[in-house]
Structure formats: structure tokens, C-alpha cells
A and B are shown apart, each in its own frame.
Chain A
Amino acid sequence: MSVVPAEKKTTAIRPTPPKKANPRGALGVYLRPALVGLIFLLSWDVGVRWMHSDIFPTPFDVVKGVWELAQAGLLLKYIVASLFRVSIGFALATLVGVPLGLVLGWSIPAFQAFNPLIQIFRPISPIAWIPLAILWFGISDAAPIFLIFLASVFPIAVSTISAVRNMQPVYLRAARNFELSRAELFRRVIFPACLPQIITGLRISLGIAWLVVVAAEMIAVNSGLGYLIIDARNAGKRYDLVVAGMAMIGLIGLGLDLLVRRLEHFDEVRWMYAHRR
């Protein structure tokens, strides 16, 4: 729920405007996505039955699979394990990526020196890093955390760099008039001015971090949703559990995205977006 933008206060006392689809009503927020979801599930179910596949599970099989995992107490364990690895990896990536991006976005020599290296590392899939992750971090939680860190640190850095570079020059001119020191300039002008774009970058990167959880848990860990998928492939014909793992990853991804979106409702971020809504 967002704060109602200030300009609406005035429109509220005017005569009611012509009826338009209300983007915040129950229809838009719940009903439409529920309808699309239902159609998707139905066509999935019909598709599986129509093809007479006894390998590919129906949505109901998947729900039963999820229930089976929950009964065995594994579901919560796996979700916690995956969230733990992604949280730590993503937190480290934020701690490294945002300051790095601010510096590289601000200093042109630093950007020239380091940007090619970042662009070289950025497109390398975390899967390619698996052997090195095992060699460096062994077969503990550190290896998947490292992979998640790698997958998210570059998008965070790149979006922060572009946030700084695209900053309106008027803020800087104003700041110069106040004769701010370099540290104060960063803290009081550059960082707040870039924050909305940084938050958007974080949101996208969190999606990427969560995306690589399957690949990251291919290393010999014995918990996690990615491990669930790999374990189910080993288990013979348990593709219901494979799809259950996929569904849980997707649903939790949706939850994470909604959570990060909340950040956009803060005043520190909203000033950039409010007028677009």
C-alpha cells in the first residue's frame, strides 16, 4: 500500500472523474493475477492429461509433492537454507557493490581502469565458477554463498555506476554552492540522489541472486531448494518434486520482489517515482 500522492488530495474534492480502471482496487491487485494463474494451472493440467505423460506431473501432483515435503519437515529446512545462502551472498554483494559503484560512477579514472574488468566478469555464468568455488571454499555453505555473491555483485555495481553517472548536474551545482566536503558530498547529495536507482538495481539483483540458487546448490550441500531439485532428479521418477522445487523458488521469488518493492514507498525513494504513477 502506498501513501496517496499529495496531488490527489485536491482531486478528491472535485466532482468524481469519469470511471477508469482503478489500478489499486481488489480487481487489479488480486483478481486479475488470480484469474491468469488459474488459467495457467488449468491449461497445464489439461496439457499433461492430453499428452498422457506419466513423467510430467500435473499441478495437483506438485501440490501433493510439496505437502509430502512439508510433512517430512524438509520444506521449511530447505527454504531456510536457500534463503540463508541468498541473504548472506546478497548482503555481501550489496556491501561491496554499492560503494564500488559509487566510486566508479564518480571517478572517471577509476571507471576507465576498472570498468573493462567488471564487464569481463559480469557475463560469466555462476555455473562456470563451480569448480573454482569447490577448490577455494570446499563443500560447505561458503561455496554457494560465493556463487550467489558473484552473480549479484556485478549487476549491483553496474546499476550504481549508471545511477551516479546519470545524476542530474543541478544537484552537484547546488552542492558546490554550499561548499560541501568530498565526504559530505557523497553522503548528503550523491548517495541520496542515486538511491532510487540503486534500489531498483538491488531489486533486479536480488532476483538474479535468487535465480542462481539452483546452480549454487549443485555443489555437495545437503539442503536447499536447488538441492531439492537435484536430489529429486537422482531419486528416479520424482519430477513432481522437481517441479515442486521450481514452484517454491518462483513463489518465494515473488515474495522477495514484493518485499523489496516496499522500499520504493519510502520518501527517500519515492520522490523519483511518485510522479510517474
Chain B
Amino acid sequence: MGLEAKLNDNGIITTTVDALIEWSRKNSVWPMPMGISCCGIEMMAAAAPRYDIARFGSEVMRFTPRQCDLMIVAGTVTYKMSHVVRKIYDQMPDPKWVIAMGACTSSGGMYRSYSVVQGIDQFLPVDIYLAGCPPRPDNLLNALIQIQDKISRTKARDFQDQPLPELTVIQNN
């Protein structure tokens, strides 16, 4: 973002800058773990020594949204929790991607009941849907590799400055 996005034409200099930036972006995807329920434990297992997620560049799982670019929503999202998830998604800076991990986030999963949102794509834009209940940690690593492929196909001019979404302002009295 920033300077390279302002250069609109596809000259040779910009394509090299493009390639450099998307290479560095895809190899250091820092996930924001939204570990809500059982899929959260498989996400922790993906960070554990056997299925090491750090070797793919996701060295740390920062719990603050301001420093992350990938949000992994792992676990059942209820109506009460959906406002919290959306608030955290809004706090993440651009560019950002979302993985919907597991059956519960993709479509409500095995919970067809009054309090579970039947799929988080009702209020969040999702990039990758992972199947499984819970998906194995190697499946999560597969999804991470596909996100990296998706990043490698983006260009700098995709991230032009966009107007900010409406955020509520908190008064400090």
C-alpha cells in the first residue's frame, strides 16, 4: 500500500516492485487467531511442534488485530459473538484475508439451532472455506498455502486507498 499503489501504470519498474512486495507479503502472513471453540484447539495444534506453522512464515500469532493480516475464524460463531468478530475484523488494517475454518463457520455446521449463525459469510467476506469438524492441522496448513498463492496473484494496484468503513467513535469523558 502507499507509494506503489499510487503508481497506476504497469511499467517494468512497477512490476518488479510488485513482485518484491507480494513475495514478502506472502511469506510473512501473521494470523490473528479467533479461536472460539474446538477448531481453536486444532489451530493451537498447528502452532505446536509437530505441525509447525512458523516454518511457513506465520512466526507469531498476534492476538492484537492491528498487527495481523489474516484472520482465522475457528469455532462456532453465535449471534452474540458475531458483533465481536465483526468489530475485530474492522480493526485489522488492509490488506486482510479471512479463513473460515471448519464446518461451523462455513455453514453453521451440525448446529441448526436458534443461536448459531449459519455461515460467517453472512457478515464477513471470506477467502477460503476449510472443511472438517475439526479440520486436521495439515488441512489448515494447506489453506495457508492457498492463501499465499492468492496473495502471489495480487498486484499492488488492487490495494488503492479505499474509504474507511463507518466506525463508532467512543467519547472519553
Are A and B associated in one complex?
Answer: no
